Amino acid sequence: MNKALANIIFTGFMFLLFTFAWIEALNFTRLAQFFPLYISLAGSTLSLVYLLKTLVDYKKETTAEERAEHILILKPLRYIGWVIGYLILIYVFGFIISTAVFLFVFLIYESRMKVMQSLLSMAITLVVVTYLSAAINIEWPASLLGL
Amino acid sequence: MIESAIEALTIVLDPSRLIYMFLGIGIGIIVGLLPGLSGTVGMALLLPFVFGMDPYVGIALLIGMVAVIQTGDTFPSVLLGIPGTSGSQATIMDGYPLAQQGKAAKAMGAAFFSSLVGGVIGGIALFLTIPFAEPLITAFSSPELFMLTMLGLSMTGLLAGKSVFKGILAGLVGLLLGAIGSAPAVPEYRYTFDSLYLTQGLSLPVVAMAIFAFPIIITMLTDKKKVTEAAKLEGGALQGVMTSLKNKFLMARSAVVGVIIGFIPGLGGSVVDWIAYGFGKKTVKNNTFGEGDIRGVIAPESANNAKEGGSMIPTLLFGIPGSGTTAILLGGLTLMGLEAGPSMITTNLDVTLSIVWTLVFANIFGAILCLMLIRPISKLSTISGELIVPFLLVLLVIGAYQSSLSWGDLVVFVLIGLFGYVMTILDWPRPPLLIGFVLAMSAERYYWISIERYGWEWITNPLVIVLAVVILVLLTGGAIMKRFSQKVESGGES
């Protein structure tokens, strides 16, 4: 996607966020209202001004060279998917099983590690994490299955 | 008092107590190394063990741990661009770019030496302030604290980067995120959408990790690169130490900033590194802060260790904890049969002085230990992103969950992380967002108390006016201060 266009969309999102925030703030009582209301009104106004400025700048950029800078979309989505997938696994199966599965599969498919190396890395990580958990009382996320 | 100080020194150097101090130092460095774990976690971990302990032994353990957390947290900040604790956020700004240039060892050498100097200055400040603490602390009431939060917020302007619009908007998003949860002026929840988790507000470690760590793990994977772009690691720790020595005035200035901010209860230690960074940026000549300037590492690292000495003053002498860590320390003192307050400078003066010595020694030993670990640990920056990211993600998930032991932390980590990632690829500055978030609650609370208690009269308080002038000078008088700094630091820069 064109970076300038993505910036316009993101600024538009900021404008909507601040606008929603000040509309929501109108429902608070006076003492709870003043801070978020003024902050979000300022944000809403400023983001609108910046949005208009970027739109004008975007229209001025007529040459292909000026619009050449692009940002990746699919590739980041793939890795964001890994993160979200790992969290969903934890939510269902618990931390230890999910970490074992996630590490093994990721190291094989993304890191191109050999099976034995992946298994060894996974095992060492689990031992270290379990030891740390016991030694300094670290808790793991709760899961649906209670594992 | 000198005699008491010497007596306290012999107590601290007793081998049976030194062992506990080293144990505390070891735990402190591990806690600092692991992203998401803070001094509060370390304190909570050690607290059960100090029950009924000899106070000098218990203090060696607790203070030994607290003193070095800000030293150990430099490793993830420099090597991975992930804040080890909330006190090392600003270190990322130049530490990570230096690591990308293959200068991780040099950056960490400078950081650890600055931490050592800052920590020792903090200990000395605690020692020197004992006789004058009371009038100094009472000079800061809500209007002055409000102005100090404004001073912190003014740093967003300095850190906005190329676009002031983007910087201010990012700061406003941070302030808005900080408004989530209970309102300070009235028992009412805001922006919680009937979620129990949001009533507590968002947690700072989670937001800091999401804003800085999430974008880095995705970028490392998409760009298929290592942290360092250089073929081999350049410069050693000693080079970093020498650079710090050359910038001795910057180190000293930043340490003083750290002591002052730490000394003021209620401002929060999370902003001290940003303020020191901002001051550094404004006062150092020919700087390239944000692009891998080693002075951008020296300033926050000196300040965040010095802060610990400053924060002990209100904690020990008045029982006013400035942070979660010092609040738990107060509990620890009680468990050891001590009570914070005026008795700490009368009947228990030797205990207070042993804290001063422990702070000094723990900072020295902790920094030496970290300096010894630089070489092996800095090799992390040469490992490919695809190999390091999965392990990093496991650590981040554990770290984020420790904040409130709720799934909400992990959801917030992903949502704000995605926001931070978009900001990164579109060149929006992230530090202003974090500064806004850190200071949102303090800004609102102190503004409200000032208005309720003094109307608008507080604006004429002498200290308020002084702070307003400082803010104006920082925002507009950079050129004058740079010229002054050039004279002071002539020949002292790298």
Report yes or no: A103 at the B interface, CB cutoff 8 Å: yes
Tally the domains of chain B. Answer: 1
Report yes or no: A109 at the B interface, CB cutoff 8 Å: no
* Residues B322/B265, Cβ–Cβ less than 8 Å: yes
β-bridge partners, B189: B182
Nearest to A76 among B44, B183, B222 (CB): B222
* Residues B397/B187, Cβ–Cβ less than 8 Å: no
Give A64→chain B minimum CA distance, Å: 19
Q: Confidence band (pLDDT; 50, 70, 90) for B430?
A: confident
* Placement of tokens 């000079």 in the chain: B139
* Those residues with Cβ within 8 angstroms of residue A98's Cβ, 6 or more apart along the chain or in another chain: A86, A89, A90, A92, A143
| Predicted pLDDT of residue B438 | 80
The interface pTM score, or ipTM, of the predicted complex is 0.92
Q: Is residue B282 part of a domain?
A: yes
* Residues B244/B298, Cβ–Cβ less than 8 Å: yes
Chain B residue nearest residue A81, CA to CA: B218
In this structure, of A21-25, A142-146, B203-207, B257-261, the range with the lowest mean pLDDT score is A142-146
Q: Is residue B493 part of a domain?
A: no
Q: Is residue B494 part of a domain?
A: no
Nearest to B169 among A50, A132, A141 (CB): A50
Report yes or no: A84 at the B interface, CB cutoff 8 Å: yes
Which residues does chain B have within 8 Å of residue A35's beta carbon, measured at their own beta carbons?
175, 179, 183, 440, 443-444, 447
| Predicted pLDDT of residue B493 | 45
B173–A79: do the CB atoms touch at under 8 Å?
no
A125–B444: do the CB atoms touch at under 8 Å?
no
Which residues does chain B have within 8 Å of residue A84's beta carbon, measured at their own beta carbons?
414
| Predicted pLDDT of residue B231 | 47
Query: Tell me: the pLDDT tens digits for B7-59?
Result: 888 888 888 888 889 988 988 888 787 776 667 667 767 776 777 778 888 88
For residue B170, count CB atoms less than 10 angstroms from its CB and return exposed for 0-12, middle for 13-18, buried for 19 or more. buried
Three-state SS string over B176-188 comes to: HHHCCEECCCCCC
Give the start-to-end residue ranges of the domains of chain A: 3-60, 74-135
Give A78→chain B minimum CA distance, Å: 9
Report yes or no: A144 at the B interface, CB cutoff 8 Å: no
Query: Tell me: the pLDDT tens digits for B376-411?
Result: 777 776 777 788 889 889 988 888 888 788 899 999
Residue B174's nearest CA partner among B186, B185, B166 is B166
Residue B110's nearest CA partner among B204, B19, B206, B245 is B245
Show the domain range for B203. 2-488
Evaluate if residue B157 carries a pLDDT over 80: no
B190–A142: do the CB atoms touch at under 8 Å?
no
| Predicted pLDDT of residue B484 | 52
Query: Tell me: the pLDDT tens digits for B121-156?
Result: 988 888 888 777 767 667 778 888 888 788 778 777
Nearest to A21 among B41, B166, B176 (CB): B176
In this structure, of A119-123, B219-223, B227-231, the range with the lowest mean pLDDT score is B227-231
Torsion of CA A46, B413, B266, B337, to 10 degrees: 180
B426–A7: do the CB atoms touch at under 8 Å?
yes
Average pLDDT, chain B: 82
* Residues A118/A108, Cβ–Cβ less than 8 Å: yes
**Cα angle for residues A64, A70, A75 (degrees, 5° grid):** 150
In this structure, of A37-51, A71-85, B275-289, the range with the lowest mean pLDDT score is B275-289
| Predicted pLDDT of residue B246 | 92
Nearest to A28 among B30, B188, B386 (CB): B188
A32–B190: do the CB atoms touch at under 8 Å?
yes
Q: Report how far residue B190's alpha carbon sits from residue B198's, in angstroms, rounded to the nearest whole number.
A: 9
Which residue, among B218, B412, B428, would best test binding to A if mutated, counting the most A CBs under 10 Å from its CB? Answer: B218
| Predicted pLDDT of residue B235 | 63
Which residues does chain B have within 8 Å of residue A32's beta carbon, measured at their own beta carbons?
183, 185-186, 188, 190
| Predicted pLDDT of residue A90 | 94
Beta-carbon pairs below 8 A across chains A and B = 145
Residue B113's nearest CA partner among B276, B274, B298, B287 is B298
Chain B residue nearest residue A91, CA to CA: B407
Evaluate if residue A111 carries a pLDDT over 50: yes
Which residue, among A24, A37, A50, A80, would best test binding to B if mutated, counting the most B CBs under 10 Å from its CB? Answer: A80
Mean pLDDT of A88-112: 93
β-bridge partners, B190: B181
Percent of chain B with pLDDT over 70: 86
Residue B203's nearest CA partner among B398, B412, B40, B35 is B412
Q: Report how far residue B469's alpha carbon sits from residue B335's, in angstroms, rounded to the nearest whole number.
A: 44
Which helix H or strand E contains B63, and what residues bound it?
A: helix B55-72
B398–A87: do the CB atoms touch at under 8 Å?
no
